[in-house]
A and B are shown apart, each in its own frame.
Chain A
Amino acid sequence: MTVPAIELHDVTRRYDDGPPALHDTTLSVAPGEAVAILGPSGSGKSTLLNLIAGLDRPSGGTVTVDGVRVDKLNETGSARYRRAKIGMVFQFFNLLDDLTVIDNVVLPAQLSGVTRSAARLRAAELLDALGVARHAAAYPGRLSGGERQRVAVARALMNRPTLLLADEPTGALDTASGEEVKRLFNDLHADGQTIVLVTHDLPLAESCATRTIRLVDGRVVADDVRAVTTGRGR
């Protein structure tokens, strides 16, 4: 029997005295799946993603990723877990403005102790594969939104993560750049990358995800497995 890539069991996340942001959520994601988390603002999508990434801890329940009990990890353990198993892509890229593109990309590997020269080889491959190799020495501020998101994806893939998490990856992009990113995610999924993406972008979910989970007020209200409608772009 295959170990689930992600397994949440009765997970609740409550902030202060308010209603829970996530309520008794139980779900499982198999390796290689591309899951889109959908839902209106405040439905708990980002909370769910943060819990899976080990950026936050549940108030109750268990979060297991690739056999690791994420909810049990301390800060150092969480950091090491993210380095080893998680790649993250953010809506606003979260690239470090003072570092060049390649220095941004090699950063997760360097934090893991990989030498700069070894990390640069892998980063060059990724940048080349993602079509932004010519910008390696540039600073992120000079790149277009689509290019920045490609750099962010390259950084996320740097340590060959088990799981790629994306939070509104097209949210800050124009249509053309959004399409680029969409194709990129399709390619990654086709290569077997497990992906969880949080999005408002229904077309993105429809084109990239094999499964959509809809959240409303912190509860899973729909969980549909479906076929990808868009083929590989490249």
Chain B
Amino acid sequence: MSAMGRVVRSGVARRRVQTVVIALATMMAVTASVLGGSLLAASSGPFDRAFAQQHGAHLTAQFDAARTTAARLMASAGATGVIAAAGPFPTATAAPRDVAAEFDLPPMTIVGRTTPDGEVDHVSLSQGRWVNGPGQIVLSADYPVGPSPLDTDLRFPDLPGQPTLTVVGVARSVGRTADAWASPSDVAALTAPDATGGYQMLYRFAEASTAAHVERGQAAVLALVGSPALLGAQSWLTIKDASEREVALFLPFLVAFGALGLVMSVLVVGTVIAGAVGTATRRIGVLKAIGFTPVQAVRAYVAQALIPATVGIAAGVVAGNLLAIPVLADTDQLYGTTTTGVTWWIDAVVVAGALGMVALTAWAAALRAGRLRTVDAIAVGRTPRPGRGRWAARLTARLPLPRSVSLGLAHPFARPARAAAVLAAIMFGATTVTFAVGVAASLNRVQIAKDHAAADVVIDTFAPPRGTGPAPNTAPRALSADDTAKVTTAIQAQPGTAEYYRVATTQVAVAGMTGFARLDAFTGDASWGGYEMISGRWFTRPGEVTVPSTFLTATGTRIGDSVVLTDHGKAVPVRIVGEVLHPTNNLLVFADAATFAATKPNLTAASYHIRLADGVDVSEYLTGLNSALATSGFTAASEQSTGGSSTIVLLDALAALLTLMLVAVAAMGVLNMVVLDTRERVRDLGIHKALGMTPLQTIAMVIASVLVTGLAGGAIGVTAGVAVHRAVTPAMGDAAGTKLPTSVIDVYQPTMLLLLGLGGLLIAVAGAFLPAGWAARTRTAVALRTE
């Protein structure tokens, strides 16, 4: 082995702690980078990417089987501008019931497809398999069922013979072409006797970037098929717009995490390598003294850094790819997309970047030492340069603290550059934690506000009563006047009812706007129902309305303006009195039902929302109310059981995982710095121990050496985290088309900020704990002999 090889090998073997730290730090940084890069990639045009991967349909068209034929539809694939088509697939709409849970599910559009592949709309399976025969069904990942629906039996009670299908898979169509897929023969069986069957055709056009392009393509198709046969059509641009609106809220959050991960990785790898090589100045001097050229010495140290770093990088890539599986699955669910894992080029870029960074940093640090005159390099002691931080030592010596603590407190001032690196690591860690906690809290509040779920008990008339269901359809069940009276009486008579309101949903036209706006008409005071106001107030009388931001933007109105809603040809003038938080793409109006008493006298409630008096037990109340409701056929449930948001769970899980990861990277940065510092101070450590410093005092001294930087890093990090949150959160709202009320932005309480600030201290202490233990175990006689 050459002299160079021996030096490198002995350097790696001799400095085992440092070698391990370099490998670990690089591994964690690479893991975070792979995750961060994957998040950034996943967040870059998620819909367009997934749509391109799936060869999504630019136009999803539903045809009436009675007015056209399969052959004619197949021929439509040759329409001008159509570059690919799939179908015709038989379709049916029916409402299933979960047999085991005895729970009615919303109506679904079922498409008969024998394969998930095809020229258009490559449906991606996320669980299970595709149908391979009758009696099976694959659910869309967007269909609202539990997280593990496999093997669930779905019965269609309203169809002759009550057919039952077993869920064999869960799949995602980015173009949302169906709620479920089954074999074509099953779809025929799922078509109601009095209904004509339908066909679905999926088209891709040569030009589809604008609505005009899609409309032109649709016209070309209809020219061949005939317009009367078309039951409905869906442009991919509509889905794209809806999808982008939905993900807009989460996108900045994940991008920020990805970016933080990358920045922290660069910081930690840079400081770890620079620190490790920088402490070898004396040894580089010795190598030069025995005949190494500066170039040889530099090469030796670059190699010494690259060996453990390469091991760490390899382990980090593996760990990053493994960890990315659940993270990307979560982001897929948030974005409504499909990915197959970490893209290969992310791994390649991260590996190349990490290797390059290690080599460059090691080269720069070693070159600095290599260029020193040999005599100066050898003279560089292992203890800090005398003179630095003496003022701090004098100051802390006067503090009424145990001496071991006051000695430690002065340490960072003797090595300001290293202290700055520790500070930066802690600061980034604290920023990440603060930002994550803040964004998670904001999103939770947005989601809660969106759910309007402040009621304790809900009666949802949408779900047909169990066991007695009439034919389900997509509209809420129409309550008779008798039903309304029964339910109202039961609620009023039930002990424990504090207040309640009911909501009916219908549609009205908005003067000057095409299409319809959804109208949520309330009977009773709903201001307590979880409607978070952005500005203005909740309506209090007929003629007043409260609207989401989207309505104001679309109509160009402001609070205080009047608008005319048209219902059944009659104009109903209303005044906007408040802007409510409700992220939506559509026009939506909240108003008192009495406003429409003249035009909609028979509005029937879609749901009742009940607030219980203080101290009333929800389950006891439910038992009593459901008993009273038994004859009405409706069921009351607690709000929690109907309004749980999987999005919140997902976001919280993602935030927790990513925060943990970045905090670990930050702690690793601290650990490395403290290891270096402790190693350099090993002789001082020996002196202290020879003078009677106990192991506990030694630990206290080392831990105290990061307290100042921990507190400062925590304070700066929390401030930065709050600032980032304040900048990102409104941007998230803007992207989602809504303003956010101060309650969503001002999520930090003083106690929470204090705890987050102490989080910086925790990162510092966690990072210093191992080296502190090592310092405490160092044998005094050995430490005293160390040069």
- Shortest beta-carbon distance from A20 to chain B in Å: 16
In the complex, whether A50 has a CB less than 8 A from a CB of chain B is: yes
Q: Which residues of B767-787 have CB atoms within 8 Å of chain A's CB atoms?
A: 776-777, 779-781, 784
Flag if B384 contacts A116 (CB, 8 Å).
no
In the complex, whether B693 has a CB less than 8 A from a CB of chain A is: yes
- Pick the contact of A55: B386, B393, B690 (CB < 8 A): B690
Q: How far is the CA of A96 from the CA of B397 in the complex (A)?
A: 13
In the complex, whether A148 has a CB less than 8 A from a CB of chain B is: no
Residues A96 and B692 in contact in the complex (CB < 8 Å), given A75-B776, A111-B403: no
Q: Which residues of B692-712 have CB atoms within 8 Å of chain A's CB atoms?
A: 692-697
Flag if A55 contacts B694 (CB, 8 Å).
no
In the complex, whether A171 has a CB less than 8 A from a CB of chain B is: no
| Contact flags B161-182 to A (C-beta < 8 A → 1, else 0) | 0000000000000000000000
Flag if B784 contacts A90 (CB, 8 Å).
yes
- Shortest beta-carbon distance from A163 to chain B in Å: 13
Flag if A103 contacts B397 (CB, 8 Å).
yes
Q: Would you call the interface of chain B mostly helix, strand, loop, or mixed?
A: helix
- Pick the contact of A82: B410, B684, B692, B777 (CB < 8 A): B692
- Shortest beta-carbon distance from A208 to chain B in Å: 22
- Chain A residues, Cβ within 8 Å of B6: none
Flag if B695 contacts A103 (CB, 8 Å).
no
Contact size class for B? 20 to 34
Residues A99 and B403 in contact in the complex (CB < 8 Å), given A139-B390, A155-B691: no
| Contact flags A56-82 to B (C-beta < 8 A → 1, else 0) | 100000000000000000011011101
Flag if A108 contacts B386 (CB, 8 Å).
no
- Chain B residues, Cβ within 8 Å of A53: 690
> CB-nearest residue of chain B relative to A156?
B691
In the complex, whether A191 has a CB less than 8 A from a CB of chain B is: no
> CB-nearest residue of chain B relative to A56?
B781
> CB-nearest residue of chain A relative to B689?
A79
- Chain A residues, Cβ within 8 Å of B466: none
Q: How far is the CA of A111 from the CA of B691 in the complex (A)?
A: 8
In the complex, whether B447 has a CB less than 8 A from a CB of chain A is: no
> CB-nearest residue of chain B relative to A142?
B386
In the complex, whether B505 has a CB less than 8 A from a CB of chain A is: no
Q: How far is the CA of A99 from the CA of B683 in the complex (A)?
A: 15
Q: How far is the CA of A78 from the CA of B684 in the complex (A)?
A: 18
In the complex, whether B484 has a CB less than 8 A from a CB of chain A is: no
| Contact flags A155-178 to B (C-beta < 8 A → 1, else 0) | 100010000000000000000000
Kindly name the residue among B403, B410, B696 whose own CB sees the greatest number of chain A CB atoms within 10 A: B403
- Chain B residues, Cβ within 8 Å of A94: 683, 686-687, 690, 784
Flag if B692 contacts A111 (CB, 8 Å).
yes
- Pick the contact of B403: A88, A95, A107, A155 (CB < 8 A): A107
- Shortest beta-carbon distance from A121 to chain B in Å: 16
Flag if A110 contacts B690 (CB, 8 Å).
no
Q: How far is the CA of A38 from the CA of B404 in the complex (A)?
A: 36
In the complex, whether A207 has a CB less than 8 A from a CB of chain B is: no
| Contact flags B391-403 to A (C-beta < 8 A → 1, else 0) | 0011001100011
Kindly name the residue among B389, B402, B686, B780 whose own CB sees the greatest number of chain A CB atoms within 10 A: B780
Flag if A83 contacts B692 (CB, 8 Å).
yes
Flag if B696 contacts A76 (CB, 8 Å).
yes
Flag if B384 contacts A98 (CB, 8 Å).
yes
In the complex, whether A10 has a CB less than 8 A from a CB of chain B is: no
Q: How far is the CA of A90 from the CA of B686 in the complex (A)?
A: 12
Q: How far is the CA of A20 from the CA of B691 in the complex (A)?
A: 27
> CB-nearest residue of chain B relative to A155?
B691
Residues A103 and B404 in contact in the complex (CB < 8 Å), given A79-B692, A98-B384: no
Q: How far is the CA of A84 from the CA of B694 in the complex (A)?
A: 12
Q: Mark B residues whose CB is within 8 Å of A.
A: 383-384, 386, 389-390, 393-394, 397-398, 402-404, 410, 414, 683-684, 686-697, 776-777, 779-781, 784
Could you write out 22 A-B pairs with CB less than 8 Å apart?
Answer: A50-B781, A55-B780, A56-B780, A75-B694, A75-B695, A75-B776, A76-B696, A78-B780, A79-B693, A82-B692, A83-B692, A94-B683, A95-B687, A96-B687, A98-B384, A98-B389, A103-B394, A108-B691, A111-B697, A113-B402, A141-B386, A159-B692
A-B interface, 5 closest residue pairs, ranked by CB to CB distance from nearest? A83-B692, A110-B403, A79-B694, A55-B781, A55-B780
